[in-house]
Amino acid sequence: MSAPGVEAFLANLYSDAALRESFLHDAETVMANLPLTEIERAALIEIDRVGLQMAAASYAKKRAHHRGKREFSGSRFWTFLFRR
Amino acid sequence: MAAAEAAVGVEANVMIRDDRVGLAWRDALAGGILAHLDIIDVVEVIADDYFRTSNRRIRALNTLARQVPLYLHGVAMGLASAIPVEQKRLDAMARLVNAMEPQGWSEHLAFVRAGGIEIGHLAAPPRTNEVIEGTLANIATAAKTIGALPQLENIATLISPPCSTMNEAAWTTQIIRLSGAPLMLDLHNLYANAVNFGESPEALLASMPLDRVQCVHLSGGVLINEPGNTGKQRLLDDHIHDVPDEVFALLTELATRAPQPLTIIIERDGAYPQFNHLLCQLTRAREALAMGRARMHLSEPLQVAA
């Protein structure tokens, strides 16, 4: 798999809870149809499993925060500053 | 000897005057920042917050830029990637740089999206030669579009970047040396990675390209439990806690090793304390910096005037 392909797989793994659960249960089956090199496949099987779960939880929290932030677009301060 | 010590003191003061200490702008901190611009040397603004905003907010930011040296900080470009950076993001940064004329702009050595998926935050890419090549291409495109090289910031990570073939310092050094871009060294990110992956923070600091550091980020974080009741913890860089003592100590070490002027910026993204508390953190940064500068001058051979 190309380097962009590996990044895309990681992005998927970081953001898709079901895929991540399957991967942690049986990484080889999840990767079976991916055009990975043997080196990439071995590296992904050796992935930092604890770190994967912790990073994914952190990213999920950030995505939720971004969604909340987009819903609050007002800025009373800037309005106040400009009107002074 | 007394004269020599006095001379060292004078030199240290000269160097300290070239260093700057400031805060990252957040709307919640606006009142405090504007009321204390006499003791805040520099302000850093999240550029992405202004990519799609009203002319009124842009004019307000311009007003700020006329009062204090300002830096723009990008958070979602995804420069450290084998995937080309989106031109629309570069164009947005270019427009803002043209409008603000900041002292500089910066971005993270991170990927944030791939294959149409937004990760939602800064992720460490595989530390490989392929990603270095892609990153160098992205930096060159960004510099051409925006008109200046970015300062490149090291990121914190909870996961050891998969498929990596080199360590953080070697990977970062290659990108900094080959791109010619300055390093924005986030000392809490560096500290967190050292804690999370069993390295010595001092050794990790020493292995970074310290001669290329221009700006320094300071922030805080929290230890979180690893899943599975292992009893182990990792450090999350959350920007809602005070800068820890260990990070101030790293700043002293950096100031001892890097003689060039440094711009220090404290980041706080929530759980805001009283503003005076943040001012105390600025004071601690100045003290840490001054201690490092004094050590640096003491370790230099004295120049005896002819």
Structure tokens at B89: 């993001």
- As a whole number of angstroms, the distance between CA B16 and CA B95 comes to 34
Closest alpha carbon within chain A to B82: A4
Rounded distance between C-alpha atoms, residue B115 and residue A59, angstroms = 17
What's residue A79's pLDDT? 47
pLDDT of residue A82: 44
Is residue A74's pLDDT more than 50? no
Are residues A12 and B117, on separate chains, in Cβ contact within 8 Å? yes
Indicate the Cα dihedral angle B294, B300, B301, B303, nearest 10°: -70
Q: In sequence order, which ranges of A16-45 are alpha helices (DSSP H)?
A: 17-25, 27-31, 38-45
> Are the CB atoms for B126 and B161 separated by under 8 Å?
yes
CA distance B158 to B236: 7
Candidate from B16-30, B127-141, B173-187, B263-277 with smallest mean pLDDT: B16-30
Q: Does pLDDT of B15 surpass 90? A: no
| Average pLDDT score over chain B | 93
Which H helix or E strand runs over B149? none
Q: Report the 10 Å Cβ neighbour count for B56.
A: 14
- Binned at pLDDT 50, 70 and 90, residue B14 comes out as very low
| Res. A83 pLDDT band, cuts 50 70 90 | very low
Mean pLDDT of B222-235: 95
- Supply the pTM of this predicted model: 0.91
pLDDT band at B305 (very low <50, low <70, confident <90, very high): low
Report residue B230's pLDDT band, with 50, 70 and 90 as the boundaries.
confident
Dihedral over Cα of B21, B223, B191, A8: its sign: negative
**Sequence letter at residue B212:** R
Position B5 confidence tier, pLDDT thresholds 50, 70, 90: very low
The rounded mean pLDDT for chain A is: 86
> A64 to each of A38, B113, B165, B302, how far by Cα in Å?
36, 16, 32, 57
Q: Is B98's pLDDT higher than 90?
A: yes
**Encoding tokens for residue B63?**
């007003």
| Residue B12 confidence (pLDDT) above 70 | no
C-alpha distances out from residue B77 to A31, B93, B113, B198, Å? 28, 9, 9, 30
> Which residues, in sequence order, are CB contacts of B138 under 8 Å at separation 6+?
B77, B78, B79, B80, B81, B84, B85
Which candidate from B82, B115, B234 shows the least CB-CB separation from A3?
B82
CB contact under 8 A, B82 and A55: no
DSSP state string for B238-249: -SSSPPPHHHHH
Q: What's residue B75's pLDDT?
A: 97
- Note whether B31 contacts A52, CB cutoff 8 Å: no
Predicted pLDDT of residue A41: 95
Distance CA A11, CA B116 (A): 9
Q: How far is A30 from chain B (nearest CA, A)?
A: 16
- Percent of chain B exceeding pLDDT 70 equals 92
| Pairing of β B222-225 and β B151-153 | unpaired
Tens digits of residue pLDDT in B32-52: 999 999 999 999 999 999 999
- The CA distance from B256 to B236, in Å, is 27
Confidence of residue A67 (pLDDT cuts 50, 70, 90): confident
Contact B87, B145 (CB under 8 A): yes
Percent of all residues in chain B with a pLDDT value above 90, rounded to a whole number: 87
Contact yes or no for A10 and B234 at CB 8 A? no
User: Which pLDDT score, from 0 to 100, does residue B153 have?
Assistant: 98
Suggest the residue from B117, B128, B164 to mutate for an interface test with chain A (most A CBs closer than 10 A): B117
Task: Tell me which residue in A3, A53, A77 faces B227 most closely, judged by beta carbons.
Answer: A53
> How many other C-beta atoms are found inside a 10 Å radius of the C-beta of residue B3?
7
**Considering only CB atoms, which residues of chain B are within 8 Å of chain A?**
27, 30-31, 56-57, 59-60, 63, 81-83, 111, 113-121, 123, 125-126, 128, 130-131, 134, 157-160, 162-164, 196, 224, 226-228, 230, 232, 234, 236
- Cα–Cα dist B88/B303, whole Å: 53
d(CA B306, CA B228) in angstroms, rounded, equals 68
* Lowest-confidence pick of B9-23, B48-62, B167-181: B9-23
B235-271: b or e for each residue (b if 16 or more CB lie within 10 Å)? bbbbbebbbbeebbbbbbbbbbbbeeebbbbbbbeee
pLDDT recorded at residue B178 = 98
Which of A1, A2, A9, A10 has the most B C-beta neighbours within 10 Å, making it the best mutation to test the interface with B? A10
pLDDT digits (tens, 9 = 90+) for B112-163: 999 999 999 999 999 999 999 999 999 999 999 999 999 999 999 999 999 9
Instruction: Choose the mutation target among B63, B159, B160, B196 for the interface with A, i.e. most A CBs under 10 Å.
Output: B159
pLDDT of the residue at B301: 64
